[in-house]
Structure 1
Amino acid sequence: MTESIVQYTSRNRARAIKGFLSIFLGHGGGQLGLLCLVFFLVLAAVPNTLVGPLETVATATGDFLAPPSSQHLLGTDEVGRDVLNLVVHGARISLTIALLATVISLILGTTVGIAAGYFGGGVDVWLMRLTDFFFVMPSFVLALVITPVLLEVMGRGGEILGFRPSLFVIIVVIGMTSWAFVARIVRSQALSLKERTFIDRARVVGSSNLSIMVRHILPNLVPQIAANGALVVAGAIYVETSLSFLGLGDPLQPSWGTSLSLAQRAGAASAGAWWYLGAPGLCVLAVSLGFVLIGNALDDTFNPRRRVIP
């Protein structure tokens, strides 16, 4: 009997996964976004294989702001480094910062949202007032204020958890300032879920509040968290690029934002070096658009009212 139940559950799970993939992969925006994401993930995964080691001032082989050529497909920067090399290596830094910051944001937003929706009352009021503060205050403004302070406290020397302090600080700051939207979405769903019959049954059998939130409410929120998580990544890339452009990034670990900052300082715009500004700028635009498309496709897939069967 138990074996039959397990087999039945496995078949239902496999059928659900197959149905999800069929709908998601049949979504035009989802296909484009996934293709874009895979492309940049490949760049971030094997930059040395694609363009060689990261070029430095000492290893630069080109001329000052040389235009695109057969030797340098995207031209060179102000010290002769290959822009294609910088852009490909920058993909790893930008995506790593954005993805890790999104993980922090989703953990904070999900925790606050579930607690506020499940407990209600005073807990809900206080947590939502805190959420409102972060919600109405632009995350970039908060990050711009907090980042220099943390950099001063932690210093720029040494490494923390495998990252230079400047990168680690940016990850933490972006994650801590971009969770409010997720918390709002999660709270609204938790308010509905806690009134369901299966939650009452869990209470009757003696399940603790923590067990109910983790084992019963959280799994039902995964679709909403996943869909909004893709949008949070796009926002995190924008904030990271803006902070790095303003000089708060790590010049030894050049992200796309750092490349844009260096191009601006070198006077690339006035010198007509469009390739220096255009390459990292288009990468930021493309990867952000890719995550937005994936988020919209996930929302359409998980939401029966918006679902379009291919």
Structure 2
Amino acid sequence: MTEGLRVTKAFLGQFLDHKGARLGLLALTLFLFLAAAPSPLVGPLQTAITATGDFLAPPSSEHLLGTDEVGRDVLNLVVHSARISLMIAMIATVISLIVGATVGIMAGYYRGRVDVWLMRLTDFFFVLPSFVLALVITPVVLEVIGRGGDVLGFRPSLFVIILVIGLTSWGFVARIVRSQTLSLRERTFVDRARVVGSNDLFIMMRHILPNLVPQIAANGALVVANAIYTETALSFLGLGDPLQPSWGTMLFLAQHAGAASAGGWWYLGAPGACVLIVSLSFVLVGNALDDTGNPRRRAIP
């Protein structure tokens, strides 16, 4: 236990020494704070009925980020949208990492025909961009299940986006996990586990998976960034839900209201900047995790 704590402290120390990690974590902490408690900070989510401003009013002391086409405060919308955008991205990432890690470990551990078939499936999702798959699948699924009601607390449109992003963006995670598993399965500690009679599932979960956590975490941060971009693009194309607004939905509404031609740069700029900052922050954190956990990258000056 003491050795484990020492290794963890050393890893965290090296990670936090990384300038990109500190900058990314600072930005993410701010946005997670906004997403966790939007109402105490900016009040309840404004609607067309409760809007307090003029139509497309520029930033002022009363409305720091201006208003939208029906007079709603853009700062209020941006803060409330943070919860939906981040929640969609995080849940989709968890799904993606679970699928990718499972496929990668099984392919690398069993090899042979299992490896061939799983990698051919992975190639399909790896070569075809996840956004293209999501763009094709999302409207079809929505047409089948409808947009009414809710699924696990999400309206159907958002639930489908979460599921589609998670199930179409795991390809490169699977490839990375497979390559590491091929190396780990030949290690001495795996041979010892086989000798004492451990079954394959126990070996994969107890001996191989823990050694893959740094790589999975580093790539998970990059998956989150990609999930945010994909959700934003899908919502911008009108596949989101205005009743549970995200940053992508705000961009869709701003474009639909003609904010660009009307000079309402704040309406487009605020959610766009949030998407850019959060995505870049996750990329910085992911690169810092990779630099810290990869000895060969640490050796590069």
| 1:224 equivalenced with 2:224 (yes/no) | no
Match of 2:75 in 1: 84
Match of 1:241 in 2: 232
Match of 1:5 in 2: none
Q: Distance in 2 between matches of 1:200 and 1:115?
A: 17
AA at the equivalent of 2:124: F
| 1:165 equivalenced with 2:142 (yes/no) | no
Deviation for aligned residue 1:308: 7.2
Q: What do the CA deviations read for 1:140-180 (whole angstroms, capped 9, x no partner)?
A: 00000000011111111111111111111100000000000
- Structure 1: give runs of 5+ residues left out of the alignment: 1-9
Match of 1:270 in 2: 261
Q: Distance in 2 between matches of 1:157 and 1:136?
A: 34
Q: Distance in 1 between matches of 2:32 and 2:144?
A: 33
Match of 1:47 in 2: 38
Deviation for aligned residue 1:26: 0.6
- Structure 2: give runs of 5+ residues left out of the alignment: none
Match of 1:74 in 2: 65
AA at the equivalent of 2:132: V
Q: Distance in 2 between matches of 1:160 and 1:140?
A: 22
Match of 1:24 in 2: 15
Equivalences for residues 201-212 of structure 1 within 5 A: 201-212=192-203
| 1:107 equivalenced with 2:98 (yes/no) | yes
AA at the equivalent of 1:107: I
Q: Distance in 2 between matches of 1:305 and 1:180?
A: 24
AA at the equivalent of 1:163: F
**Aligned to 2:50, which of 50, 53, 59?**
59
| 1:179 equivalenced with 2:170 (yes/no) | yes
Deviation for aligned residue 1:307: 2.3
Match of 1:6 in 2: none
AA at the equivalent of 2:167: M
Alpha-carbon spacing, 1:223–1:168, altered in 2? closer, same or farther (3 Å): same
AA at the equivalent of 1:14: L
**Aligned to 2:138, which of 147, 159, 175?**
147
- State the identity %: 79
**Aligned to 2:183, which of 188, 192, 196?**
192
Deviation for aligned residue 1:244: 0.2
Q: Distance in 1 between matches of 2:200 and 2:223?
A: 28
Cα-Cα RMSD: 1.0
Contact 1:74 1:279 (C-alpha < 8 Å) held by counterparts: yes
Q: Distance in 2 between matches of 1:307 and 1:30?
A: 15
Q: Secondary structure of 2:296's match?
A: coil
Q: What TM-score, normalized to structure 2?
A: 0.98
Q: What do the CA deviations read for 1:183-207 (whole angstroms, capped 9, x no partner)?
A: 0000000000001111111111111
Deviation for aligned residue 1:13: 1.4
Q: Distance in 2 between matches of 1:263 and 1:295?
A: 31
Q: What do the CA deviations read for 1:58-104 (whole angstroms, capped 9, x no partner)?
A: 10011110000111000000000000000000000000000000000
Match of 1:7 in 2: none
Contact 1:300 1:308 (C-alpha < 8 Å) held by counterparts: no
Match of 1:132 in 2: 123
AA at the equivalent of 2:29: V
Q: Give the total of aligned pairs.
A: 300
